[in-house]
Amino acid sequence: MDLLQQRFGQLKEHLSHQVIGQPQLIERLLIALLADGHLLVEGAPGLAKTRAIRELGELLEGSFHRIQFTPDLLPADLTGTDIYRAQEGSFTFMPGPLFHNLILADEINRAPAKVQSALLEAMAERQISIGQTTYPLADPFLVMATQNPIEQEGTYPLPEAQLDRFLLHVRVDYPAVESERLILELARREAAGQVGDISPNEFSSLTTNELHQARQQVLDLYLAENLQEYLLQLVLATRNPKPYGEDLQQAIQYGASPRASIALDRCSRARAWLAGRDHVLPEDIQQLAFDVLRHRLILSYEAEASGMNADRLISELIARVPVP
């Protein structure tokens, strides 16, 4: 394990002390950061989604901004707009909140389609056009969008084609009882003005240069040819599942796009790198297949009527596609 891997290991450890009971969310955040992608997080309120990305923002060289999405939000509220200054007789661009390194798009499904499109375009292009001028966004640039699965009234579900732009779709569940005891203790300390188990001063902020070096190491990480073929076969099985069973063919209406193959490749390398390894294992691909594929599959009406969901379908694919 080299120095950069140790630094990310320390970062992960620090986050686990500040965001208790959500190890998967922490790992997926770091994977998205290393793979230079964005993630959609779905979970009930109060599960430390906001806290996780805020704590990460405090440990990175850059800026963090939270945007609360509401039905009356306008695209300019995200991107910024040209302001006319009468004294000077000219327009001046006032950048919006998207001009930060880490963005929390809270309850993205509460904003109308135009606002969602403005955010997703910025995510894909890493730039914003106002009038005839194009402004590049910050580097690094990571968006964590959240969805509340409980309340669906007054929401605008993201279309499948736009969901495909998210690298990962992470589902967050309630913490175990042991973790919740630690959460109570941490909350009591914070309310009393006491520091947690690990002081932020014990971890110096991760620089942009360190992050770029880590990303390059992730890209260079060894992925065996037979594992690359296994990865491709998993994705291709979502488009042509007939060889793995008639039931799967009837369950899938549309499979995953080539973006899924790219995402699974990069995320598997990032997971292996975070674990201190210099090569990818089949379990890296299998563990990440759910978060990479669940928002990219469209199930048939018959499958949904029978109670099938994307996670069950992915489990079947993993069980049926042979591991090299």
Tokens 């800026």 belong to residue: 63
DSSP code of residue 39: E
Structurally, at CATH architecture level, domain 221-320 sits in: Orthogonal Bundle (1.10)
- By the 10 Å C-beta count (0-12 exposed, 13-18 middle, 19+ buried), 255 is classed as middle
The full set of domain ranges for the chain reads: 3-202, 221-320
pLDDT-flagged residues of the chain (< 70):
1, 151-154, 195-202
133-152 burial: b if 16+ Cβ within 10 Å, else e: eeeebbebbbbbbbbbeeee
206-219 burial: b if 16+ Cβ within 10 Å, else e: beeebbeebbebbe
Q: In this prediction, what percent of the chain has a pLDDT beyond 70?
A: 96
pLDDT for 199 equals: 47
Please write the tens of the pLDDT for every residue from 256-290: 999 999 999 999 999 999 999 999 999 999 999 99
Measured distance CA(273)–CA(220) in Å, rounded: 10
Residue 74 neighbours by CB under 8 Å, 6+ apart: 114, 115
pLDDT for 198 equals: 46
Measured distance CA(56)–CA(39) in Å, rounded: 14
pLDDT for 154 equals: 66
pLDDT for 92 equals: 87
Q: Which tokens hold the place of 76? A: 């300019």
Strands (E), the chain: 39-42, 64-68, 80-85, 90-95, 102-106, 127-130, 133-136, 142-147, 168-171, 252-254, 298-299
Identify the CATH number of the domain defined by range 3-202.
Answer: 3.40.50.300
Measured distance CA(12)–CA(63) in Å, rounded: 19
